[in-house]
Every structure is written in C-alpha cells, then in structure tokens.
Chains A and B, each alone.
Chain A
Amino acid sequence: MYQYDEIDQRIVDERVAQFRDQTRRFLAGQISEDDFRPLRLQNGLYIQRHAPMLRVAIPYGVLASRQLRKLAHIARTYDRGTGHFSTRQNIQFNWPQLEQVPDILAELATVQMHAIQTSGNCVRNTTTDHFAGVAADELIDPRVYCELIRQWSTFHPEFAFLPRKFKIAVNGALEDRAATWVHDIGLHAVRADDGEIGFRVIVGGGLGRTPMIGTVVREFLPWRHLLTYLEAILRVYNRYGRRDNKHKARIKILVKAMTPERFQREVETEWEQLRDGPNTVVSEELARIEARMVRPRYESLPDGVPAELQRALREDRAFRRWHERNVHAHQTPGYASVVLSLKATGRAPGDATAEQMDAVAELADRYGFGEIRVSHEQNLILPDIRQADLPELHAQLKDLGFATPNIGLLTNIISCPGGDFCSLANARSIPVAQAIQERFDDLDRLYDIGELDLNISGCMNACGHHHVGNIGILGVDKHGSEFYQITIGGNQAPARLGRVIGPSLGREEVPDAIEALIRVYLDVRQHAEERFVDVVERLGIEPFREQVYAQPEAEALYA
C-alpha cells in the first residue's frame, strides 16, 4: 500500500485542523446548519437516524493491520463497538458524537487515513478490484493509478462542487471485480499490443433511481493522458450537468441527454485543449508512487498443492467447501487470497466488531504481510496467505465466525444499512437479509443452488447494488409501510440490470418469494452448471413471476 510522504501527511493534518475549526464554529452558532452541511459532508459526516454517521475512506480498499486496529479503536472508543464495511470499500460508524468527530479524524490521520470526500457532490473514493496486485487473472495492477487518481481528486479546486457525487472505479483483471460499468467513470487498465499501458474509458454508468450501463468513450487512452482526460470529462460534466433536479444530476443523465456521441465529442474537444498540458502524467511520478507502495516480500515457494493443504482437502469436508468458495487464486506460486465472510447468518452484512477487527489485523500480521483488503461485496480479504497455512488459518477463522463458506452463494448478501440506520431509506434491509440467510442456512442446499448474488437496497439510491444482483431486493415505501420490489437477472460482470418481477411484497413475504424463485430455478435448470442468472437469461422472468405470485399468502398482501 501507498505510504504518505511529508506532504501527504501535512495535507491530511491541515484538513483535520480545518474541520475542527468548522465544527467549533458550528457548535458556537457561527456557521449555519445550511452552510455546515456541505462542509461536513465533504468529510463524510451525515446526520442520520440516531446520530451522525461518519464514513471513513479506505482508498481502493487496501488497509494495513495498524489501520484496521485504529478502526477497531475508533469503533470501541467513539462508537458502540461496531463498524460497517460499505459497498464502496469504505467503513461507516453509526454512533459518533459530532463534537468528537474532529478527534476521530485526528486519530485517523495518525495512521494515514481520513474521511475526505467520502460524501458530498465531489469525486469520491476511487474503488478497484479487491484482488488488485494478487489476482491470477490480472493484466495490470491498477493501484498505482488509483493512488494517482486519489491525489489528483483530493481537494481538486474546480471539481469540489459538482452537480452530484462522482464515483470512479478502476479494474485491471480479466474479470471485472470493480463494477466499472455502473460507475460515473469506469476505467479498464489494459496493455496495447506494443506493450503500452492505457485505459478503456467508460462514462455514465450508475445505479440509483435511473440505472444505466456506461458507454465507452475511448477504447485506449495512454496512461500519460489519464488525468487530462479525466479533467476534460469532469469539466464538461461540471459545466453542463443538470443542477435543477438532484435526481437528474448524475453524469449518466447528461450523457443520455446529450447522446453518448455528442458527449464524447464535447469531451474530446475539451481534451484537445488540455492534452499534453502540465497535468500530463510523467513516468517519474508513477515510479515515485511505486517506490512508496509497500509490496509483500514473497517467499519463493514451489507451485502445486502443499502436503498440509492436500491432507486437509481430503479429510475435512468443511475445509474443502471453504477452500472452494472462500479461497482465491494468487499470482504468486504457493500463495492464495482468503475471503473472510462478513455474512454469517444472524449478522448484519458487512458489520464487524472491534474485537473482530483486531483479530483480523492479528491474522494479517501472523499469516500475511500485514495487509487487509475490503471488497465491495462487504467482505474482508487476507490477500497473501501461504497455501500451506490455509488449514490453520481456517481453524482460526472458524473461531472468529469469519469462515462461512458462502462467497459467491446466495447468503453472501450485499446489503446497505437500510432503515435501521439510514435516514434516506424507505425500508429496512438488515432484517430482510437475516431472514433470507436463516431460510437458506443449510449448506448442502446452498451449494446445490450454486452461484447466486443477492443484493438488497433500502431505497432507490441503490447502495446495496440491487440492480446488478442476480436477485435484487429494493425497499419501497407504500403509504408509510415497508414493501420490497424484487428484480431478477441482474449481473455485475458482464453488467446487466435486473427486471422487476411484479408488485412489491410485504417484508414477511420476501423469504417465501426467494424460496419460490429458487424452486423454479432448480426445477428448470438443465444441469448443475447452469446458474440462476443463466436460467433467467434463457427463460425470461415469466416462469419466476408465476411461481412467486401463485402463493396464496403473498397474493393477499400485495395490492
């Protein structure tokens, strides 16, 4: 991960001092609520249902063990002992006191962390593949470019007050694990035939109330033009994006209104004026960032399955399942990446207690190189584990409750905090997630169902990415009651948006509806490898709709 130099540290420290001053003046009545709102939002501070909510940036999802320990300390000292990992690789604290937020930011600054631009109408935390730098299917490690974008976007003077929030995702592997097609800008790091590194640039994707798949505006942008091109896109958006209606203010609406072709021309015209200017990236800067990236010093290990691992795979069925689902191929021989499931039945998806965070930091130090990743699926990852250590690590993760072998399966539910915490939500998400997890708690059954992403959002802002879940659940408000709309056929990669199967359902009906969907799927799939999403693709939503709404108890409740 990137190590701050003196300047990076000074900028973060000065931000803490600035926010301390702003908070003091707000509490003293010298800054109005209206003026303070955008200031606190640009430091990730919302006023929520119970208390302020503080969102801390985890740049491109990479954490050092000492940073995770600091997050645990903050959860314990300033919160009620829990943090919530979000779908944008950030962590949220739901119970801080406003007066203490400057102190929290000061604590974060001691471990090179901050909450800068984690909300507000500005460029947010850049996200990437949670296996960046370690995945076996990686073409380019995107993290140096993520850091370049982080620095460029931090306190960018021209783009601090955009029409709406702005999210950039970068991916550098064959599989898109960064949801690049549903971001304001998605970047695919690619290598041209002559070896030059560049980016496919996708603009105007997004979820929310108007979900859209992005448009490619440039197939190959050489790396040195990355920042000038981003500036051109942001400038066109900043000048022409709608500001009269916040629901029509995202760049996707502008791209659609202008048409992608005209938007692209506008960007290219603007870029012609900026290209080769001072913001053209120089190789010395990439080398400087690279030099400040602490890379693991891998041992030279033989390729193939070590004896300890082979034995455990043969003898221990639970281990074998966990290995199949939660262990990911590494690009270095003898190593693997391990996904810690924060989706055990009965827990709020993405939540971790201070004790669990400390324990994970300990495991990262003992078995890895002190590094942890946060995935947008709201799990934690130990990226660099010796394969021979996997059986021992598995035993420890079981004790911690992090070994649920459900990655890629139905109960690995992505969920926003929903109406239990979030003041934007129309409905609660967590109890729905828990009810579904309880219904599908049987591992044999879960494995039989196979790969299936189930995503839940408590409102149409879609923090739970419900549109790209194979099954998506959206909380809606009907006459003051919580209802849930179900979509099927959505997919993250390749990106596809789910289709609504019918009228929304009451909360009690949701597990039955999921049960009905699964029943149809198991009945009609042609073989075990045909996934749920494949069946929806083949047969459409009709057979599923019929089953869900054939249930008499559900019929009574939807009206």
Chain B
Amino acid sequence: MPDVIRNGRIEPDSYLRVDSLEGVDADADVLVPLSLFAAHHEALLALPGKLGLWLETTDEPGEVAQYLPLLDLVAVHFASFADGRGHSMARLLRERHGFRGEIRAVGDVFKETLFYLSRCGFDAFVLRPGENPEEALKGLDVFSEAYQASVERPSPLFRRRQATAPEEGQA
C-alpha cells in the first residue's frame, strides 16, 4: 500500500478503495466512489471502519453536502494535475460546506503540485507511482508567503501587511 503525505508527514495509508459492497471488508477503512455511496450510503455509514468518499473532478460536492459531517475523508482524483476543477472543489468543501475531515489529492500528484493543493484545503496527498515522498514534501515549502486568502490562512496578505512607504532614494 502506498504511503500518504498527511499534515506534512509521510504515513502508511489505511484506506482501501472499493467499488462494490461485496468488496468491503467489515473492519477496513474504505474509500468509495460517489456512485456507490449514492446507492448504498446507509450500509456504508453503518460500517465500523473509517469511510471516505472518492470524487472525480467532474462530481458535484454539493450533492453530498448533507453527508459530509458523517465522512472521515474526501479524496479528489486528478486524472491530470492540470485539472484545476479539483482545486475549486477542495475550497468549496472547506469554505462552503465546512468539511473538517481529511481532503486528499490522489492521481497525478507530485512535488510541484502540492503547494497550490495545500492552499486550497488539501491536507493529504497520495503521490503517483515512482515519486519520492521525501523530495515531494519539499514542494510544500517552496514559497514562504502568498498574496491570496487560502484555506490554511483565510486572511489575504493585504490584510496582514503594514502600510510602508518605499525607502527614499529607490528608483
């Protein structure tokens, strides 16, 4: 099982993705696609293990808003890292729907993508095969400051900055 980068640490991952109820091991932590969840949410919510919802970037998070407080995790699957819909999705999950559980990025996830993703509310990452997690972790620290409001820091830089005039003599 691949590791997960969670809150800036490399940890083993307990979740198993399952695509049918038959595949569910009673004690396991499971990750299920939206279609399975929609059809069997009662049975899935009754399981003893942790429950995560696997969303594609085309899914509509608003459809499951009422269940979000019952979930431990939402995974957003990036078929391509350049699919920015997942970034909006995480922000909506956090800022609009108030989801407090883990939001993990899965799929085409690697060092260069982590910084933006983390600022949109992702706090866990499963790297694509072949990536070095130690190296990827550094991707979270490339920039020490950012202009915009983000999930991790809801106040934009302009609200944190002191008004300072430029030093005299600078051209």
Which residues of chain A have a CB within 8 Å of any CB of chain B?
3, 5, 7, 10-11, 14-15, 17-18, 22, 35, 38-39, 64-66, 121, 148, 151-152, 154-163, 235, 238-239, 243, 273, 277-279, 281-282, 284-285, 287-288, 291-292, 294, 370
Check A160 against B87 for contact (C-beta < 8 Å): yes
Instruction: Determine whether B3 belongs to the interface, using a CB cutoff of 8 Å to chain A.
Output: no
**Contact residues of B: prevailing secondary structure:** loop
Interface residues in B149-163 by Cβ distance below 8 A to A read 149-150, 154-159, 161, 163
**B6-33 with Cβ < 8 A to chain A:** none
Give complex CA distance A7, B163 in Å: 13
**CB <8 Å contact, B171 and A157:** no
Assess whether A66 is in contact with B163, with CB atoms less than 8 Å apart: no
Chain A residues whose CB sits within 8 angstroms of the CB of B158 once the complex forms: 148, 151, 281-282, 284-285, 288
Provide a sorted-by-A list of 15 A–B residue pairs whose CB atoms are within 8 angstroms: A3-B166, A10-B144, A17-B142, A148-B158, A152-B148, A157-B115, A158-B88, A161-B82, A161-B87, A238-B88, A239-B85, A243-B85, A278-B155, A278-B156, A282-B159
The B72-112 residues at the A interface (CB cut-off 8 A) are: 81-85, 87-89, 91, 96, 110, 112
- Residue numbers in B under 8 Å from A243 (CB-CB): 83, 85
> Given A151-B157, A287-B163, A291-B163, A35–B112 Cβ distance below 8 Å?
yes
- Residues of B near A5 (CB, < 8 A) are 161, 164, 166
Q: Is the CB of A239 within 8 A of B166?
A: no
User: What residues on B are CB-neighbors of A285 within 8 Å?
Assistant: 158-159, 161
List 5 additional contacts besides A152-B156, A158-B91; criterion CB under 8 Å: A18-B143, A39-B112, A155-B143, A155-B147, A157-B117
| CB–CB B120/A158 < 8 A | yes
A260 to chain B minimum Cβ distance, whole angstroms, is: 22
8 Å CB contact of B84 from A7, A154, A162: A162
A17 to B81, CA, bound (A): 22
Chain A binding surface SS class: helix
A158 and B84: CB pair below 8 A?
A: yes
Shortest A297–chain B CB gap in Å is 13
Q: Is the CB of B147 within 8 A of A152?
A: yes
Question: With a CB–CB cut-off of 8 A, which chain B residues contact A287?
Answer: 163
Residues of A within 8 A of B147 (CB): 11, 151-152, 154-156
Contact, CB under 8 Å: B146 / A155: yes
A486 to B47, CA, bound (A): 68
Determine the chain B residues whose CB is within 8 A of the CB of A160 once the complex forms. 84, 87, 116
Q: Is A156 a contact of B148 with CB atoms below 8 Å?
A: yes
Rounded to whole Å, the gap between the CB of A81 and the closest CB of chain B is: 25
| Chain B residues within an 8 Å CB radius of A121 | 82, 84
